[in-house]
Amino acid sequence: MSQDGLDPVIHAPARLRLMVTLAALPGGDHLSFTRLQDLVGLTPGNLLTHLRKLDEAGYVRTDKTGGGPSALTTVSLTPAGRAALDRYTTALRQILDVAGPARPS
């Protein structure tokens, strides 16, 4: 945890965007790699790198089905990831409350 209480794994623009996007899905749902890439606007290489960091933290789960050109990679937020995003949102609200207006939705 960083000094300001914001989880450093999440507190980076691309990973924050990834976490929030995945959190928009109901629990138990997952997104294909290509749809997620489309939603967050990252190159495949960058997306893979950020997903690996989130995966290592246990915040997302990636699954690969099939092989070759038809292989499908799916990504979902884990319960630990959802809880971490909730904690991040709470910490961010507290920081912004002290600083002034502009709160995360």
Partner 1 sequence: MNEGTSADEGTGAGTGLDPQGAAVIMQEAGQRARRELAVNQPAIFVTWALVYLLGYGTVWLSVRGQQPYHAPAGWALGLLTLLAVVALVITAAVTDRATSGVGGATAVKRRVYYLSLAIGWLGVVTMQIALRSAGASHGVIGVFTASSPLLVAGVVLVAGTAAWLNWWMFGLGLWLIAVAALSGFAGPAGTWAVDALAVGLPFLVLAGIRLIRR
Residues that bind partner 1 (CB under 8 A): 2, 4, 6, 8, 11-14, 16-17, 20-21, 23-32, 34-36, 38-43, 45-46, 49-50, 74, 76, 89, 92, 95-96, 99, 102-105
| CB-CB contact of 36 with 95 (8 Å) | no
Closest to 78 in 3D by CA, of 48, 57, 50, 64: 57
Nearest-angstrom CA–CA distance, 55 and 59 = 6
> Of the two residues 24 and 80, which places its CB atom closer to partner 1 in the complex?
24
Rounded Cα distance, 1 and 32, in Å: 30
Query: What distance separates the 2 farthest-apart alpha carbons in the chain?
Result: 52
Residue 57 beta carbon to partner 1: minimum distance, rounded to whole angstroms? 12
**Smallest gap from residue 37 Cβ to partner 1 (A):** 9
Q: Which of residues 67 and 102 has its CB atom nearest to partner 1 in the complex?
A: 102
Minimum distance from residue 81 beta carbon to partner 1 (Å): 15
